[in-house]
């Protein structure tokens, strides 16, 4: 199904599919193509309205009977690490970040496959081959970087100097005009105790701080989903709910049960999307 605004990008809606986060529910996405000379401006504008990028597509959940998925971001200036997060940073202090262009390597793919096989064997990406992986990394019409995290590893544990240069984690990151957006990340499943997913977020907060960027975009947070619980542990977290960014407050206070009649029609959702000036 297609929906359009005058002199604006065309928006489409996917067919409902089983929700990967909440059992027994169906997901549906509103999306538009991302291309052309105004791609960066459109990515910036729609990211501020809860959209996410996947290759040359911008999408946002638009489910028929649920509004549980909410975009999340951290206010960099207000973020204060918890005691556990400070301990984590000290433990992973020997990991170094290497920022590269959006170019896939065989080494990254091997790590990606190990990550999927161990943690998401039944997920939608489980059958991705190296060519599809390369497309995920390289097909970007906006400013993107690949952040590799490398360091000495001994006996499967980070922080032990044995002279190796182990690829521990990778994150595909978009550079927005107001922040860093973590598009997709993966890490060595043998290093689960290092909490590398949280380490990547903490490192991006510091990178955004030193770059003068106010936000780190984390993707979606879903109350009631165990896969998403870790995001609510970061201070200064905002969620995009009801068309505005707001403090998450008590995570348990966000009721993800939504009556079908309270979900606005797609046409109304599209009409409320604020587009960059060049797209109007």
Q: Is residue 206 in some structural domain?
A: no
Q: Strand pairing partners for 62?
A: none
pLDDT higher than 50, residue 13: yes
Domain residues for 56?
A: 2-69+256-279
Of the listed ranges 1-15, 37-51, 224-238, 265-279, the one predicted with least confidence: 1-15
Residue pLDDT, tens place only, 192-228? 899 999 999 999 999 999 999 999 999 999 988 888 8
Q: Is residue 159 in some structural domain?
A: no
Q: Is residue 118 in some structural domain?
A: no
Return the DSSP state at 276. P
pLDDT higher than 60, residue 1: no
Q: Is residue 28 in some structural domain?
A: yes
pTM: 0.89
Q: What is the pLDDT of residue 155?
A: 47
Spatial CA neighbour of 272 closest among 240, 239, 238, 237: 240
Q: Is residue 106 in some structural domain?
A: no
Q: What is the pLDDT of residue 245?
A: 97
Percent of all residues in the chain with a pLDDT value above 90, rounded to a whole number: 67
Which 3-state string (H, E, C) describes 106-167?
Answer: HHHHHHHHHHHHHHCCCCCCCCCCHHHHHHHHHCCCCCEEEEEEEECEECCEECCCCCCCEE
Q: Is residue 27 in some structural domain?
A: yes
**Tally of structural domains, the chain:** 1
Q: Is residue 269 in some structural domain?
A: yes
pLDDT class for 115, splitting at 50, 70, 90? very high
For range 10-16, the mean pLDDT: 94
Q: What is the pLDDT of residue 260?
A: 59
Q: Is residue 133 in some structural domain?
A: no
């Amino acid at each position: 199904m297609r929906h359009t605004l005058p002199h604006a990008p065309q928006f489409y809606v996917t067919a409902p599919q089983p929700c990967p986060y909440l059992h027994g529910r169906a997901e549906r996405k509103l999306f538009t193509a991302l291309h052309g000379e105004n791609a960066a401006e459109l990515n910036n504008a729609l990211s501020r309205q809860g959209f996410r990028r996947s290759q040359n597509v911008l999408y946002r959940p638009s489910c028929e009977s649920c509004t549980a998925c909410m975009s999340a971001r951290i206010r960099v200036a207000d973020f204060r690490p918890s005691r556990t997060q400070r301990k984590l940073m000290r433990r992973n202090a020997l990991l170094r970040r290497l920022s590269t262009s959006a170019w896939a390597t065989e080494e990254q793919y091997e790590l990606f496959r190990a990550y999927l096989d161990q943690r998401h064997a039944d997920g939608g990406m489980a059958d991705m081959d190296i060519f599809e992986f390369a497309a995920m990394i390289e097909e970007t019409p906006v400013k993107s970087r690949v952040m590799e995290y490398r360091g000495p590893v001994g006996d499967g544990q980070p922080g032990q100097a044995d002279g190796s240069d182990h690829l521990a984690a990778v994150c595909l990151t978009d550079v927005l005009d107001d922040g860093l957006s973590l598009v997709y990340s993966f890490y060595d499943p043998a290093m689960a105790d290092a909490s590398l997913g949280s380490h990547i977020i903490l490192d991006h907060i510091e990178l955004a701080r030193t770059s003068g960027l106010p936000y780190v975009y984390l993707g979606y947070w879903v109350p009631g989903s165990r896969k998403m619980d870790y995001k609510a542990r970061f201070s200064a977290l905002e969620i995009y709910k009801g068309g505005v960014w707001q403090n998450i407050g008590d995570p348990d206070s966000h009721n993800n049960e939504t009556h079908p009649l309270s979900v606005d029609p797609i046409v109304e959702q599209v009409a409320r999307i604020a587009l960059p000036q060049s797209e109007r």
